[in-house]
Amino acid sequence: MASSKEDFRVSIESMNDWSHVKANYAQATRADFERELAAAGLSNTNALSQHLDHFIDQTFRLAQPNLRVNGQSFDERGEDDIEPFDETLDRHVWSLHDQRLGLHKTIAAIRRAEPLKIEKAMLNSLEQDHELDAMESALEDIQEDFNMEVDDIHGTFEEGLQKTSALAKELSQVCVFLQFLFLLLNSHPSCSLYLPRPNVPSHSQYLLPH
């Protein structure tokens, strides 16, 4: 079946319409022919009439390939009693056909483009994962170094605290010893106090009586 999408042939609904067109054309042509003969004063017109009929038949024979009868090519037409061709429906069908072709093109474009987009997105995701892993590893190293520094500070603090406690204990002992000296001086005024030189490591010396 030839379609209006593929060519732009003259469309008629039935062979009766075609016969009607042929009859009207032949009648008008013969009328003009007879007027021309009368004006020319010619009487023997049989040969000319035969040529005219041949011309009319040849004209319609040449026009037939450019005809569509009830939506079918003139040479491919079926019986004349089929349902009349619906031009509106035919245009709608071809419109749907164009939409279908457009959708096929869109699908083909998506099939070409989307895999590349997905691949690019996956590569970007993997790259981000690697960057996050590197950042996480760096944070773990920083945390480990921080913990080591905290442990060192804690150890230094404990050591300082121990030294401070030892000094406080020695200071307490010195205070007790000084109290003992003051009590001794108050009890024995005749005793003299000998203080050690600064470079002597001992904290005190005993009191010696005169």
Per residue in 35-93, pLDDT (tens digit) is: 888 887 776 677 788 888 888 888 888 888 877 777 777 766 655 555 566 678 878 88
Say whether pLDDT at 191 is over 60.
Answer: no
Element holding 69 (H helix, E strand): strand 67-69
Structure confidence at residue 106 as a pLDDT band (50, 70, 90): very high
Q: Which two tokens stand for residue 87?
A: 């031009």
Using a cut of 0.85, tell me whether the model's pTM lies above it: no
Show the DSSP H helices in 11-86 as ranges: 15-40, 46-63
pLDDT score at 99: 92
Q: What is the 3-state secondary structure (H, E, C) of 120-148?
A: HHHHHHHHHHHHHHHHHHHHHHHHHHHHH
pLDDT score at 41: 77
**CB-based contact 154:170 (threshold 8 Å):** no
What mean pLDDT comes out for the span 194-205?
47
Give me the chain's average pLDDT, please. Answer: 76
Q: Which two tokens stand for residue 17?
A: 């319409």
Structure confidence at residue 117 as a pLDDT band (50, 70, 90): confident
Q: Which two tokens stand for residue 136?
A: 């996480």
